[in-house]
Amino acid sequence: MRLRSLALLLAVAAACATPARPPADDTPDVDLTPLRSRLYIAEDRFCVQENSMVYVGDAYVTVIGATWTPDTARQLHARIRAITPLPVRDVILTNYHPDRAGGTAYWLGLGADVLATPRTLRLLELHWDRIVGDVRATYPQYPSLPLARPTRVLPDGFAVQNGAVRTLYLGPSHTDDGLFVYFPEQRVLYGGCILKEQLGNLDSANLSEYPRTLRRLVDLRLPTDVIVSGHWSPVHGTELIDTYLRLLAEHAAAAPR
């Protein structure tokens, strides 16, 4: 096996290394739990656990992360309907990978807007079919989803819900397009795939820029009590940034020169 394909296989395996919960018809993949006032965490355990977020506004709901698949999106929508009658009006894609964008088709079918930056749209168009193939190589149950495009392409730093949900693009990291999402009222930062307790999948990462992007985040000094990670256990303090910087430094130190 060529070195590159081996590296790719290992990276995908790392992305999906945690054994999925055994499938059972009565066991949902998606839970929704309250975090602070209007904010909820969606834990989607399809493939490797990904955590998305839900913000319940005065007039409508914003979902941050489309979840893994249209079916997990449907499950999340059922959880949302149990807590509010308000419609889901927009869904933010925080990067182009299937754990963030896989559920897009469901939300489009619902009539919601799917929001992304031009960078994410371009990467979806360039890489979607390949990256779905990569996931399916490890997780054959992952559906062969065609690309579903965002409906609204917005500039870096776009916000919704009258500024209560703010996206931040601070440079390349886990992917070239990854967004943080900041909730100033709740003093919560969503780290998406960028911040987590394990290194995770670095296949699309920019390893030289990743630490700089995290330092730009620190330099913003956003008033933050909680960081919600996009994978594995969701709730952390701001030390998660240092944790991930350390993991990156250890990874760099171990890499062959």
Q: Closer to Zn ion by CB, 75 or 95: give it.
A: 95
Q: By CB under 5 A, is residue 44 in contact with Zn ion?
A: no
Q: Which two tokens stand for residue 89?
A: 């009006």
Cβ partners under 8 Å of residue 98, min gap 6: 68, 69, 131, 132, 135, 142, 145
Q: By CB under 5 A, is residue 124 in contact with Zn ion?
A: no
How many residues sit close enough to Zn ion to count as binding (CB under 5 A)? Answer: 2
Q: Closer to Zn ion by CB, 143 or 184: give it.
A: 143
Q: Answer yes or no: are the C-beta atoms of 193 and 97 closer than 8 Å.
A: yes
Encoded amino acid at 97, one letter:
H
Return the range that interacts with Zn ion (CB under 5 A); candidates 92-100, 148-156, 159-167, 203-211.
Answer: 92-100
Minimum separation from the CB atom of position 141 to Zn ion (A): 18
The set of long-range contacts for 250-255, using a CB threshold of 8 Å and a minimum separation of 24, is 251/199, 251/202, 251/207, 252/207
Minimum separation from the CB atom of position 200 to Zn ion (A): 6
Q: Closer to Zn ion by CB, 42 or 164: give it.
A: 42
Among 90, 99, 177, 203, interactor with Zn ion by CB under 5 A? 99
Which residues 187-206 are close enough to bind Zn ion by CB under 5 A? 193
| Total H helices, total E strands in the chain | 7, 13
- In the complex, the residues that contact Zn ion under the rule CB under 5 A are 99, 193
